[in-house]
Structure 1
């Protein structure tokens, strides 16, 4: 990777900015970041924006001419730009343009400009409600009901077909429930843990909709960034890997841990579930990533939630 040119779509985003920080340790010649700053931000890039290796391009991945300028000459590409799952549901046409059409254009350009390897950000959403727990990569995707999950799976299949037809090397990473400092904090689709942090700040009872038994596999963002770099460095191609923490955590357990790391004695209030969640369980099997990428998560939920809390309250200049 030393002296290589790397292009990252969505590099000013939550996960992308951590990937940039990880990559800088390997002394690449240049890292080009394309981001429209709708989900990403200049704040996320604060630690590296003035680094001479970094070239930040503010623009939309749907701008093919701009996309080609960024890809031209790149040795490696990280494709991380995406809409949120709820944004895809609310605006399927935007979802199509960003998640499918632009991914196709990127694959075409990677082929044209002889990119050596693509690291594609996929999602555990491809499984829907999985058949097995822990979930291996061999579980089928037929239970997925979301546009987002379908789009992510299509991206995997696109790169797989381009490997078969044209020899374009790639690795797909299926992220489970990524959280941490710099995660989205504003807007209609704010993560539940941010809403709970607001309750802790304001001394209000945090709300749990339903019985709190829904589980997720929460993986800290710095671990996800390490998995991305491991996927680039490993001598592996044409494979998809789960990236989770390999721990199943219910919403009740999540809130308990969040209250604990913030020394809060608040008690939750339970409300009737206001939506139907077709995915009631998530638990990753990372065996394949361990064997092929030498990747293992290293940050516990308690440690990650503490770091998230410190960042969030410092961001608001609030002391608890």
Structure 2
């Protein structure tokens, strides 16, 4: 059993990691400012919860000193480009200063390893399969902030010996995302609309594709990174398969027993990425990670979750 902190612990991915760690018998503390996260995502879990803002250096230091954590899963972030549109100052502050405060506190209190969330958005429009060794050029405030965390993490390793591993998530979907609303994964958004008989809106012709990754696979990758992998590295966490938005609607119709046609509208996003797709060779070799969920199975589980 280990003492573990999850930042953003009441959020989508953080709460799913928390559930798995509690099931494994670890002593878990979930910290969240509840900007988007919800306490309800942690309902029934035997853990400690701390409402706090990681931008507060003193509060963060106090949390780490009191918790004496061995491992940290850093999921607290503004986690999509649209979150930066209205208030880039706040979003950048969360993603950069919050990360530095976590790393500094981890260094000072002897944390063994930090596993942190990065993003596949860093690849922008590079042709799939997207590989960790590709030269990336961040194209938005969001991807700039995430690339900063990767560079910062490497610096903490080289200067201070603090181990960390970055996870470049590919289009994660699954339970506990309702609180994200319009910032949720497109699969969840389509499901919420179609359950009520509505038509999901697709930009363009629907042939754009994503490497959709079920959250349980992401949790598995994080658990593996706690003690496996190479410190200072980043890993793609995806399935290696690309599914078009048209096919997503078809799969949702099958799971829901409906025949709803999407509504196609002109794409208003000037730098829209047509395709994302992970090479997971590195994660397979160094973490032992392999995706267990095909999209049809993940969608079926998601439909079951929201039907409860």
Shorter-chain-normalised TM-score: which range? over 0.9
Partner of 2:232: 238
- Within-5 A mapping of 1:88-127: 88-127=84-123
Counterpart-to-counterpart distance in 2, 1:75 and 1:163: 16
Q: Which runs of 5+ in 1 are unaligned?
A: 315-320
How far off is 1:129 after superposition? 1.2
Secondary structure at the aligned position of 2:5 is classed as: strand
How far off is 1:68 after superposition? 1.3
Counterpart-to-counterpart distance in 2, 1:265 and 1:43: 33
Superimposed CA distance per residue, residues 240-299 of structure 1 (whole angstroms, 9 cap, x where no aligned partner):
100001110111111111111111112222222232343111000011111111111101
Counterpart-to-counterpart distance in 1, 2:230 and 2:168: 16
Secondary structure at the aligned position of 2:291 is classed as: coil
CA contact (8 A) 2:38 2:179 kept: no
Secondary structure at the aligned position of 1:238 is classed as: coil
Partner of 2:194: 200
The count of corresponding residues between Structure 1 and Structure 2 is: 305
CA RMSD, 1 decimal:
1.6
1:32 aligns with 2:29: yes
Counterpart-to-counterpart distance in 2, 1:115 and 1:262: 45
CA contact (8 A) 1:125 1:149 kept: yes
Partner of 1:137: 132
Partner of 1:318: none
CA contact (8 A) 2:172 2:185 kept: no
Secondary structure at the aligned position of 2:199 is classed as: coil
How far off is 1:97 after superposition? 1.2
Counterpart-to-counterpart distance in 2, 1:231 and 1:189: 26
CA contact (8 A) 1:120 1:171 kept: yes
TM-score norm. by structure 1 comes to 0.90
Partner of 1:317: none
Superimposed CA distance per residue, residues 86-113 of structure 1 (whole angstroms, 9 cap, x where no aligned partner):
1123211112210001111111111111
Cα distance change of structure 1 residues 277 and 211 upon mapping to structure 2, 3 Å threshold: farther
1:254 aligns with 2:244: no
Cα distance change of structure 1 residues 277 and 215 upon mapping to structure 2, 3 Å threshold: farther
Counterpart-to-counterpart distance in 2, 1:202 and 1:80: 31
The correspondence for 2:7, drawn from 6, 9, 16, is 9
CA contact (8 A) 2:174 2:215 kept: yes
Counterpart-to-counterpart distance in 1, 2:6 and 2:40: 17
How far off is 1:235 after superposition? 5.4
Partner of 2:77: 82
The correspondence for 1:56, drawn from 49, 53, 60, is 49
How far off is 1:46 after superposition? 1.2
1:216 aligns with 2:210: yes
Partner of 1:310: 304
Q: After alignment, is 115-124 or 15-24 more displaced?
A: 15-24
How far off is 1:175 after superposition? 0.3
Counterpart-to-counterpart distance in 2, 1:16 and 1:276: 31
How far off is 1:191 after superposition? 3.9
Superimposed CA distance per residue, residues 166-219 of structure 1 (whole angstroms, 9 cap, x where no aligned partner):
111111110010001111455443443344224323323332221111111000
Partner of 1:65: 58
Counterpart-to-counterpart distance in 1, 2:209 and 2:283: 22
